[in-house]
Structure 1
Amino acid sequence: MALNQPQPLAFDPSQLIGHTWRLARLDLTLLFRNRMAFFTAIAFPLLLGSVALLLRSGYVSGVSTGLYTLTGMLALAGFFVTFMHLTTVFTVRREELVLKRMRGSVLSEAAIFAGSGLATTLVYVVQAAVLITLSITTLGGHLPRNLPLLFLGVVLGSVMFVPLAAALSGVTKSGESAQITVLPAMLVLAATSQASFPLSGMPELLQRIAASLPLSPVVDVIRIGYFGLDFTEGAPHPAVGFAESWGAAAPRLLLIWAWIVVGTLIARKYFRWEPRHG
């Protein structure tokens, strides 16, 4: 069933906001009640970030190895809390006819997606705050040099993964197979985003391809906001002030927006509201 089928309901911003907020609260309640979902979306990303505690010595790209890893894991956390979690949620709700019933109610399509996206974004923002606190208290880190920029990177990164999750759920047969469906994307994005290590040793063409993939701009924006260094340039990364950091991050922010558009177009083609047959 196509995602872009017209809805008979007139657009009402206040109603959309109300429905979105209520659905987000419901999604958060269900997330905390489901042990597997709780571990995948909340506990595991935080455990992933704590890996940085084992890397207290040494430097990577001119910054502490621990802080380099932690900021990379902060970006990668958005993959788990939004992309992996929502791929499973959308698939399970489709197969159990929940999406069909929701779509047949007073809820608009926009509210259905926005509610799930808002819930995961709120969780991701809290995780980011926890990991930043961890960087300060245990790794000798500091407050982000540009907190609004880092916050924007976190929010846009989460928003970007919502339509991508919707698109992938459309080709996923069941909730049980969703973890397997997501695995290739996780391996590719984790290996090419510089979340754990720089890719300066790769051929230039592969570096350009890696820099264009969805997670890479999120990593760069978060690191620019945290360190006050231009991570779009090669090491040693030049220092940038508060205003300059926005200019340095602008191309990467535009790339995130481009992926939001691309993800939405793909989701409109592949997302399904009713169970798959065959």
Structure 2
Amino acid sequence: MTTIAIPRLPAGRTVRLGLSRIVNEVRAYFRQGDSVFFTFLFPLVMLTIFATAFSNQSFGTDASGNEVSAAAYYLPGMLAAGLLLSGLQNLAVDIATERSDGTLKRLAGTPLPVVSYFIGKIGQVLVTGAAQAALLLLAAGLVFGVSLPTALEDWFTFAWVFLLGVTTSAVLGIALSRLPRTGKSATAVVIPITLVLQFISGVYLPFSQLPEWLQNVANAFPLKWMAQGMRAVFLPDTFESAEPGGEWNLIGVFIATSAWLVVGLVVCRLTFRWIRKDS
């Protein structure tokens, strides 16, 4: 009887190459001053500005009647914005630049699998996004005196909103990287998109104060849901009534963000190439 040898897929090698690329990607990220400022430090800068500018203003009270400071009020939005900037903005600009300057073309001539490349990019976003969130939480607690949650349930919610949000943002960033025609135009194309999303998604402006039609537009995008999930963690329950439907709706946060993750994966699968077909 003849046995047919089935070749083993080099899954272990693919993962190892991807993990090694994470280290290289993180190093390269922190060597780029503009990326560090506009993606890593930008939410902290904005939190500092809002906490200082509105330090004498009350944004509401908790169940015990204690006033909620500006820093506490804006912290959830800045955490959500950090997910968008670290994932979508960072990768969309970075990959578009690599496509334009020939980096992807050179990688196409190497044995590096596309999956390893994705592992490196998404891993870099996870590492830098986690560091950014930790920096925001430390600044909020130590510098601005924000009382952080103590319940384990709240931190569990934070963990899954963060992981789902940062992964979705990273995948959407890879998908969006196809939009800019050149690396030089990448920032001009991507940054306005992320800025508009931040303004309509309850990051800088109270979501309940936006016109209903603008709320409906924001509902169609993931940042609004990520910000809502973060508010459920860090704001008192007295703020829940200001949310659409009068509830945090964490199930809706999970469904909407997961749907965008699937959309991003499908778009990446259909459109990602090492080089453009017309190049």
**With structure 2 as the length reference, what TM-score do the two structures score?**
0.82
Conserved? CA contact 2:99–2:183, under 8 Å: no
Match of 1:53 among 51, 54, 59: 51
Quote the residue 2:65 is aligned against.
Answer: none
Quote the residue 1:253 is aligned against.
Answer: 254
Conserved? CA contact 2:97–2:186, under 8 Å: no
Does 2:199 correspond to 1:191?
A: yes
Quote the residue 1:3 is aligned against.
Answer: none
* Aligned counterparts of 2:195 and 2:78: Cα–Cα separation in 1: 14
Does 2:108 correspond to 1:100?
A: no
Gaps of 5+ in 2: 1-6, 62-67
Counterpart residue type for residue 12 of structure 2: S
| Residues 64-79 of structure 1 mapped to structure 2, 5 A cutoff | 64-79=69-84
* Aligned counterparts of 1:207 and 1:236: Cα–Cα separation in 2: 9
Match of 2:89 among 84, 89, 92: 84
Change (3 A) 1:256 1:227: same
Quote the residue 1:221 is aligned against.
Answer: 229
Match of 2:210, SS? coil
1:119 shift after superposition: 0.7
1:106 shift after superposition: 3.2
1:12 shift after superposition: 4.3
* Aligned counterparts of 2:174 and 2:217: Cα–Cα separation in 1: 24
Match of 1:102, SS? helix
Quote the residue 2:137 is aligned against.
Answer: 132
Aligned length: 263
* Aligned counterparts of 2:85 and 2:227: Cα–Cα separation in 1: 14
Quote the residue 1:212 is aligned against.
Answer: 220
Change (3 A) 1:53 1:61: closer
* Aligned counterparts of 2:16 and 2:239: Cα–Cα separation in 1: 39
Change (3 A) 1:46 1:140: closer
* Aligned counterparts of 2:262 and 2:179: Cα–Cα separation in 1: 19
Which shows bigger deviation, 86-95 or 100-109?
A: 100-109
Conserved? CA contact 2:75–2:140, under 8 Å: yes
Quote the residue 1:23 is aligned against.
Answer: 21
Change (3 A) 1:126 1:104: same
* Aligned counterparts of 1:104 and 1:61: Cα–Cα separation in 2: 58
Conserved? CA contact 1:56–1:64, under 8 Å: yes
1:115 shift after superposition: 1.1
Does 2:174 correspond to 1:166?
A: yes
% same residue: 25
Which shows bigger deviation, 159-168 or 47-56?
A: 47-56
Match of 2:185, SS? helix
Quote the residue 1:180 is aligned against.
Answer: 188
Q: RMSD of the TM alignment (CA)?
A: 2.8
Gaps of 5+ in 1: 1-8, 240-244
* Aligned counterparts of 1:115 and 1:140: Cα–Cα separation in 2: 36
Q: Deviations over 1:12-70 (max 9, x none)?
A: 44333322211110101111222222323323333223223313233336543321112
* Aligned counterparts of 2:19 and 2:237: Cα–Cα separation in 1: 36
| Greater gyration radius | 2
Which shows bigger deviation, 16-25 or 255-264?
A: 16-25
Change (3 A) 1:237 1:141: farther
Conserved? CA contact 1:136–1:142, under 8 Å: yes
Conserved? CA contact 2:107–2:274, under 8 Å: no
Counterpart residue type for residue 71 of structure 1: P
Conserved? CA contact 1:87–1:165, under 8 Å: yes
Match of 2:123 among 118, 134, 138: 118
* Aligned counterparts of 1:53 and 1:106: Cα–Cα separation in 2: 49
Match of 2:195, SS? helix
* Aligned counterparts of 2:60 and 2:116: Cα–Cα separation in 1: 42
Runs of 4 or more, structure 1, over 6 Å off, are 236-239
Quote the residue 2:4 is aligned against.
Answer: none
* Aligned counterparts of 1:45 and 1:174: Cα–Cα separation in 2: 27
* Aligned counterparts of 1:177 and 1:272: Cα–Cα separation in 2: 19
Change (3 A) 1:103 1:156: farther
**With structure 1 as the length reference, what TM-score do the two structures score?**
0.83
Quote the residue 2:208 is aligned against.
Answer: 200
